[in-house]
Structure formats: structure tokens, C-alpha cells
Amino acid sequence: MKVRQAIRVADSQPSRRDTRLDKYVEQYAARASGFQVSAVRALFAVANRPEVVSLAGGMPNIADLPQFEIGATISKLIAERGAQAMQYGSGQGEIFIREKIVEVMAAEAICANADDVVITCGSQQGLDLVSRIFCDPGDVVLAEAPSYVGALSIFGANQCEVVHVETDELGIVPDAVRQAVTTLRAAGRKVKFCYTIPTFQNPTGSCQSVQRRQELIAVAQEVDLLVLEDNPYGLLGFDREPLVALRAMDSERVIYLGSFSKTFAPGFRVGWVCAPHAVREKLVLLQEAATLCPPVFSQFAIAEYLENFDWRAQIRAFADMYRERRDAMLQALVEHMPPGTTWTHPSGGFYVWLTLPDGLDSQAMLPRAVSARVAYTPGTAFYADERGCENIRLSFCYPTPARIIEGVKRLGEAIRSEQETHAIFRTERTARPGRHGAVINPAPDIN
């Protein structure tokens, strides 16, 4: 048989005995050496065990979507338009879903044209494409302190240097943006954009007021800085109508990333970039090179959903459900956290940002927490420098209220336990070894 002969020939070549674990190690690109496995990877595998309450992840709760009806709608789509829905499509994304997205963005005062919109494989891919278009190795991007780990991952993979900018309870501090840009440029560095999640930020939950947004835009104009606005949670506020997007305040300076992942469902991988014309042209060229086109079937499916279902009512239902979970978490935190623990009080989104009592280290404490059958994401994941070890991000999006309460209770016990250990050994928080290169969290965080 020719196949067997073919394989025998390959086997009979005298092979160089290469005993390296990774024989390609000298062939990788420079950027690949920055892909680091996160120290918490091993723990996340454990954290996903059913007996562990995971307050670590960012998966939306989609159990209440009307699955049967959605199935019927998509069945009809395939039967009637399968030849288009299952075919290659436009590199920019299909016109009908871009038109729907213009309607969706109008809720945040964005006036856009379908032509300004580029569909991506989730807004995560939007982060990738935008940073590839703008950033050379060594260029700087500004990000909030702390910021979304998935953004830090891809900026790092694209060899950008992330410089964190001070935040307060209203989010990024505009004066600090000005200061950072001035200092970096004086040192000869190129600052390509400021990455911000203005509304229900991941991980802090903060929401920029209208005035804060105005101030940020004013500074960006003053220092001629692009702003990359990431907005997956904008419509998931618990107490208010959506705030005006940064994009609505300056459409030439703000590149906007949107997503259906939290307002509908993540598994279709449909997000979008709303960008100024010249940037959009480059995005389309790069998307076509990188994927030919974003998932067509997914775009048809989501367009059918938006057309045939009361998607606004579904978002309100999601917000009610997440509000209940936030309330459960905040109540449980009051009840179970030891003195010296503080936390944020988000008015939307998925996350609470907790600060541990003095002297504790969230990364060092994680094994103890998992042994106590609760998991969280240490604050260090959300910094490109070494900060964050006194913080924890707690997600209330996925577990039920009862599980949230139980998880926070277990967390309280773990913290107290850790405090006792510290008291016994009078352990000072030791300097942790520097982390080099980009950290890519392989149990991917969600934004």
C-alpha cells in the first residue's frame, strides 16, 4: 500500500535525536516568547469542580433565554436562507446586522452609519485588530489601573507596553491621563491610545459619570490621544438608563467596541468595532486577511433574534437577574467579611472589586480559598505591572444567589484563616518575583 510505504520512508530517515521538550524553541517569533502561562492556570482547573463555588469567571447566565423559540427561528432561517447564511460573507460583516447594531448603539446616544461598523469575532477580536493596526513593538497603550485581563493579554501578545493610569471611584482620572501622556512623550515613547471600559468596568465595576467622560474626552483632545472604548456592559445597568458613550462625544477620536455576549449570548462570537472611516478601512483589510470574514451564520442568527424577539425586554430581564445577584453578594459581604475588608458597589455589570485587610495577598491565598471550596480571580491578573495582590475580583454573574452567599461565606472563612496564619507567623508581605513579558491567562477572562 502506498500509504504504508510513504510512512516507512519517513521513519527510516536517520533522525537527529532532539531531546528538547520544545524543539521549535529557536524558531518562534519574538512575540511568542511573551506568551506566559498564568500561575493560576492549575487552580482554575480545580476551581471548576462542582463542589467549588466559583466567583472567578465572567460567563453570563443565559439559562433564561427562550431556547425553544430561538431554535425555531434559526431552523426557519436555515430552511429559507441557508444558502446565504452558511456561505462566505463580507469581510466587514453583513449589512443587515450592522444596521441593527446602529439601532442598538443609539441607546447610548451614538449616531452612526452601518458603514462605520466592522463585525469581529467577539469584541475580543476587536481588541486584537485595533492593537495590530496601531501598535508597533514597544509602543505604549494606557489602561485603567486595574484593567480587563483579556485586554492586557492581547496587548502583550502584540508587543505593546501597557502603562496603567490611576483610577478612582468614577474610573480613570483624566489628569492622570494627561500626566502619563506628557511624561511618556517627553521620554520619546509613542502612546497609541488610551484603553478604557467606562461603564461597569471589569474588574472594578466603576462607572464614569457624564462629567468624567467629558473631562476624559477634553484631555484626549488636548493631548491628541485616541481613545479605545470597550463597552460590553453598557446596557446592563441596574438603576438607570444607559449613559452617553464616549464615542457619542467624539466620533473622530473614539474607537468603540461593542458586543452581544452579555446582552444576548457569547457563543456566536459576534462583536463589533465602530470606528472613524480611515481606521475602519484598515480594520476591514486586516479582518479579510486574518479570517476572510467573521462568522456569517452567527450574524444571520443574531440578526434574526434581534428582528423576532423583544431583545430590549430580554436585556431588562437580564439586568433584573444580575441585580438580584449583586444584592446577594453585597449583602453577604457585609455579613461575612472581616474588618479591614472593603469593596466596590457596582450599579451594573458583573463584578465587585474587593480589597483585602492589610498584609494579605490574594494570589498567595488562592490555594487556601480553593481548599475552602471557593474560587476568585486575584487582583494581580488585572495589572501588567506587579500590583493587585491586595485585591480580588468577585463575579456575581453566573452562580445563583444562594451559591453566591455560600461562596462569600467561604471566602470570609478563608480570609480569617489567612489572617490567623499571618498573626501566628507575623509574616510580612514579601516582595514577589518580577513577572516578565505578557501574561496571557489561559483560563480566559471574559469582558
190-249: contacts with its own copies (CB under 8 A): 192, 210, 213-214, 217-218, 221, 224, 226, 244, 248-249
Q: How far is the CB of 83 from its own copies (least distance, A)?
A: 5
Strand pairing class (374-375; 53-54)? parallel
DSSP letter at 380 equals G
Q: How far is the CB of 151 from its own copies (least distance, A)?
A: 10
Instruction: Name which position in 109, 334, 402, 423 contacts its own copies (CB under 8 A).
Output: 109
Q: How far is the CB of 286 from its own copies (least distance, A)?
A: 6
The residue (of 65 and 114) whose beta carbon lies closer to its own copies is 65
Q: How far is the CB of 420 from its own copies (least distance, A)?
A: 37
The residue (of 55 and 332) whose beta carbon lies closer to its own copies is 55
Buried/exposed code over 97-122 (b: 16+ C-beta within 10 A; e: otherwise): bbebbbebbeebebebebebbbbbbb
Q: What is the enclosing helix (H) or strand (E) of 280?
A: helix 277-291
Please report, to the nearest 10 degrees, the dihedral formed by the alpha carbons of residues 156, 159, 164, 169 taken in order: -50
Q: How far is the CB of 266 from its own copies (least distance, A)?
A: 5
* DSSP-derived 3-state class of residue 30: helix
Q: Which stretch binds its own copies (CB under 8 A): 48-56, 97-105, 146-154, 343-351?
A: 146-154
By CB under 8 A, what part of segment 116-135 binds its own copies? 121-122, 124-125, 128, 132-135
DSSP 145-180: SS--HHHHHHHHHTTPEEEEE-EETTEE-HHHHHHH
Instruction: Name which position in 187, 289, 313, 431 contacts its own copies (CB under 8 A).
Output: 289
The residue (of 77 and 356) whose beta carbon lies closer to its own copies is 77
The residue (of 65 and 364) whose beta carbon lies closer to its own copies is 65
Q: How far is the CB of 244 from its own copies (least distance, A)?
A: 5
Total number of residues binding its own copies (CB under 8 A)?
A: 110
The residue (of 125 and 196) whose beta carbon lies closer to its own copies is 125
- 376 touches 393 (CB < 8 A): yes
Q: How far is CA 94 from the centre of its chain?
A: 25
Q: How far is the CB of 62 from its own copies (least distance, A)?
A: 6
Cell of 107: 441607546
d(CA 403, CA 23): 46
By CB under 8 A, what part of segment 259-288 binds its own copies? 261, 265-269, 276, 278-279, 282, 284-286, 288
By CB under 8 A, what part of segment 68-87 binds its own copies? 68, 70-72, 74-79, 82-87
Q: How far is the CB of 14 from its own copies (least distance, A)?
A: 9
42 binds its own copies, rule: CB under 8 A: no
Instruction: Name which position in 43, 54, 56, 91 contacts its own copies (CB under 8 A).
Output: 91
Which has the closest alpha carbon to 170: 214, 135, 136, 127?
Answer: 214
Q: How far is the CB of 109 from its own copies (least distance, A)?
A: 5
| Residue that is written with C-alpha cell 498573626 in the block | 423
d(CA 235, CA 142): 25
Task: Please report, in angstroms and rounded to a whole number, the separation of the first and last CA atoms in the chain.
Answer: 53
d(CA 26, CA 11): 24
Q: How far is the CB of 391 from its own copies (least distance, A)?
A: 22
Q: Which stretch binds its own copies (CB under 8 A): 175-183, 292-300, 336-344, 425-433?
A: 292-300
Strand pairing class (254-259; 167-168)? unpaired
Greatest CA separation found in the chain?
75
Q: How far is the CB of 262 from its own copies (least distance, A)?
A: 11
By CB under 8 A, what part of segment 18-37 binds its own copies? 21-25, 27-32, 35, 37
By CB under 8 A, what part of segment 343-402 binds its own copies? none
309 binds its own copies, rule: CB under 8 A: no
Residues 6+ apart with CB under 8 A from 202: 58, 147, 148, 232, 233, 349, 350, 351, 393, 445, 447
By CB under 8 A, what part of segment 158-197 binds its own copies? 192
314 binds its own copies, rule: CB under 8 A: no
Q: Which stretch binds its own copies (CB under 8 A): 95-103, 199-207, 295-303, 387-395?
A: 295-303
Q: What is the enclosing helix (H) or strand (E) of 405?
A: helix 401-425
Instruction: Tell me which amino acid residue 326 is.
Output: R
- 350 touches 200 (CB < 8 A): yes
* DSSP-derived 3-state class of residue 159: coil
Hey, CA dihedral for 446, 193, 271, 321, is it positive or negative?
positive
